[in-house]
Chain A
Amino acid sequence: MDSALWTARTGLEAQHKHLAIISNNLANANTTGFKKNRAEFEDLVYQVFKQPGAATSDQTHSPNGIVVGTGVKLADNKKMFTQGPITQTNNSLDITISGRGFLKVEVPGDSDLSYTRAGSLQVNNQGQLTMHNGYVIQPPITIPEGAQNINISKDGAVSVTTPNSTDEIGRIETADFINPSGLLAMGENLYKETNGSGQPILGTPGVDGFGTLQQGCLEGSNVNVVEEMVDLVEAQRTFEMSSKAVSAIDGILQTLIRES
């Protein structure tokens, strides 16, 4: 039950978790609409052996005390919602939200809405606009049969060209949150509302600070591979330093056992 050993162990465990977070970011460096996680650490509670500022005599106080820390822990792992790089695909069903906002999606078996930034849309067998995995975009927009051209404007108006005419058949609505980092990541490029994210604010793309929709483009992952590699090296070195502390403490204990 050596306190130095326990403190060093927290360092090892924290960097181990950091590596898991970096690995997830790197694995998703190519995932459309992926938002990277950033690990943040905080120091653990301190043990006060001598109170700073305690009175040493009637007139004087000690300027500092003896307060020993107990290690580190992973405090936060928040998703950074910075814009990912936008690539041109020229596919009429690919859209990107340039700025704030999420597409609303209905997941089968779930009465609550889910949200996504992955705009690689497809059309299902009923003509509805869906995400790449078949979940229907809300409110549902149905492309009629015989549509030759689908046009999605910056503010979400979907119009379709048929041999007879060009009609507006619906509007893609986006939702924004006061704190997007508070959304719960569900996997499959989906997010769900939580108490931390705030209620969804519905709006029209391009109006009142909502991001615009750009057709024919896809938003890539906002993972910066260079930054992640540097973080990886840092995590590894910090792990090694804590592990050096563990060996040093082990050495001290061995000396104590041998020499006493």
Chain B
Amino acid sequence: MVDRALFTAMSGEKSSMEGMQIAAANLANVNTPGYRADYPLVASHVLDGNSAQNARVLSYDGSTYSDFEPGPIGYTGNSLDVAISGEGFIAVQNKDGKEGYTRAGNFRLNQDGLLTSSRGNLILGIDGPITVPQAKRVSINKDGAVLALPIGETEKDIVEVGRLKLVKPDVTKLIKGEDGMFYINGEGQSEASDSVNLVPEFLEGSNIDAVRTLVDLIDVSRRFEFHGKLAKSVDDKGFSCNSLLKDLV
């Protein structure tokens, strides 16, 4: 039989382990355009609140929340790259037809001429997905208009083939979906906003601060080892206890 302190230590270890997993996932995405860092929420949970001495306070991992701080933006020179400076998101339609939001502005054209994200999800314009005809040159301007220079035409005949749907939803209502895009909690879509600053030919990196995450990793791994030490210590005491009892009987 072992002291119930082992389970308290185990809850701490589990939280630290989850913290390490989140830190590792963040570090893995240091180079992903538009990625938002996740942070764990840890709460304490009192077990057996009846006793005067609260010796059983477990920690449990509530959930994660995403950090919506803007990441660094850098010039790429690609005509289909856009970055958002400040708040705001680009509306994208996922494979199930639901509207999601992203900051990753590295667009491309698929074989049907539709403007898509790097994963193949359709970028939404204010009138739905944007189709670009065969063109010599495609570009996006800072108001979100997608401009194409059709083959055979001159500079004066640049035509607007769509306008990006840029939104500024309340970030407290956004949750990260499995595909990395953000969705409004519950159902619903956000209205297009005209106060989003788009910077064409730039790309926003992930908002992971590598320096901070690495130091957090050190912090979390040492914490994990502390809990391990505690668990071992409890185990040793239980062992000594058992051997004492064994001698008595």
> A-side interface residues toward B, CB under 8 Å?
1-2, 5-6, 8-9, 12-13, 16, 20, 109, 246, 250, 253-254, 257, 260
Contacts and interface: CB of A to CB of B under 8 A. Distances in A.
Interface string B222-238: 11011001000000000
B211 A9 contact: yes
18 contacts: A1-B223, A2-B219, A5-B215, A5-B218, A5-B219, A12-B211, A12-B215, A13-B209, A13-B211, A13-B212, A16-B209, A20-B72, A246-B215, A250-B222, A253-B222, A253-B225, A254-B225, A257-B225
Contacts of A257: 222, 225-226, 229
Interface of B: 72, 143, 209, 211-212, 215, 218-219, 222-223, 225-226, 229
A179 to B, nearest CB: 24
B222 A254 contact: yes
Nearest to B225: A257
B222 A16 contact: no
Contact of B218 (A1, A13, A109, A246): A246
Contacts of B223: 1
A240 to B, nearest CB: 13
A3 to B, nearest CB: 11
A260 B229 contact: yes
A254 B229 CA distance: 11
A13 B143 CA distance: 34
B76 to A, nearest CB: 16
Nearest to B142: A109
Contact of B215 (A8, A20, A253): A8
A80 B212 CA distance: 30
A257 B72 CA distance: 38
A2 B211 CA distance: 16
B225 A16 contact: no
> What 6 A-B pairs come out closest when comparing CB atoms?
A253-B222, A9-B215, A257-B225, A12-B211, A16-B211, A250-B218
Given A1-B223, A6-B219, 18 more contacts: A2-B219, A2-B222, A5-B218, A5-B219, A9-B212, A12-B212, A16-B211, A109-B143, A246-B215, A250-B218, A250-B222, A253-B222, A254-B222, A254-B225, A257-B222, A257-B226, A257-B229, A260-B229
A12 B212 CA distance: 8
Nearest to B222: A253
Contacts of B229: 257, 260
Contacts of B209: 13, 16
Nearest to A9: B215
A6 B211 CA distance: 12
A213 to B, nearest CB: 32
A12 B216 CA distance: 12
A250 B219 CA distance: 8
Contacts of A260: 229
Contacts of B226: 257
Contacts of A8: 215
B109 to A, nearest CB: 27
B39 to A, nearest CB: 14
Nearest to B224: A257
Contacts of A250: 218, 222
Contacts of B225: 253-254, 257
